[in-house]
């Protein structure tokens, strides 16, 4: 194993800080996009999927903040984007989901090979989990795009959602 590690270019602590900071900013931008998208997705099951994804991304960001703090870094802020869905109803939903499939793919593609030089096992595993779960989120969006409303489970006995989500999603 040490022979393989010796061939990879090692990341210096200052380079690791820059790498994790960039990963944090990219993941936060993706999370903020999902918050904005969830405001437009009124299909109950698909909105719940967004809520699940956002909660997992909050955990990813907490891990990355801790890693940045260990290296003396300060996490950046990324504003929530203004999202306007093109089209109406099903067409708007399809556009949002397609964009989220593409964005998750682009995120993983960008970061997949950039992790090779991380020698700290904890940081490497954390980054691998973030990428792996982002691929899972992409699969969720693909399933929603295909109309599969059982992403997070099935309702029992014909239970209903009551017609969608509440107009206010987060209460502070």
Mean pLDDT score of the chain? 85
Rounded CA-CA distance 130/53 in Å is 12
- Report the run of H or E that residue 27 belongs to, with start and end: helix 13-38
pLDDT in tens, 37-51: 999 998 888 999 999
Q: What residue ranges define each of the domains in the chain, with the CATH number in brackets?
A: 11-80+87-145 (1.20.1260.10)
Instruction: Assess whether pLDDT exceeds 90 at residue 172.
Output: no
pLDDT in tens, 125-162: 999 999 999 999 999 999 999 988 777 555 555 555 55
Backbone angles phi, psi at 97, to 5 degrees: -65, -40
What's the mean pLDDT in 1-7? Answer: 47
Global pTM exceeds 0.85: no
**pLDDT at site 3:** 47
**pLDDT at site 102:** 98
């Amino acid at each position: 194993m040490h022979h393989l590690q010796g061939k990879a270019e090692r990341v210096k602590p200052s380079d690791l800080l820059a790498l994790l900071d960039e990963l944090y900013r990219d993941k936060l931008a993706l999370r903020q996009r999902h918050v904005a998208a969830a405001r437009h997705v009124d299909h109950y099951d698909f909105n719940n999927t967004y809520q699940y994804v956002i909660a997992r991304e909050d955990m990813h960001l907490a891990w990355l903040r801790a890693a940045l703090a260990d290296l003396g870094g300060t996490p950046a802020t990324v504003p929530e984007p203004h999202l306007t869905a093109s089209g109406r109803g099903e067409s708007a939903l399809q556009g949002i989901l397609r964009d989220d499939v593409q964005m998750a793919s682009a995120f993983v593609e960008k970061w997949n090979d950039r992790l090779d030089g991380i020698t700290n096992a904890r940081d490497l595993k954390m980054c691998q989990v973030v990428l792996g779960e982002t691929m899972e989120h992409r699969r969720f969006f693909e399933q929603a795009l295909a109309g599969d409303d059982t992403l997070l489970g099935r309702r029992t006995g014909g239970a209903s959602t009551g017609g969608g989500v509440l107009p206010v999603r987060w209460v502070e």
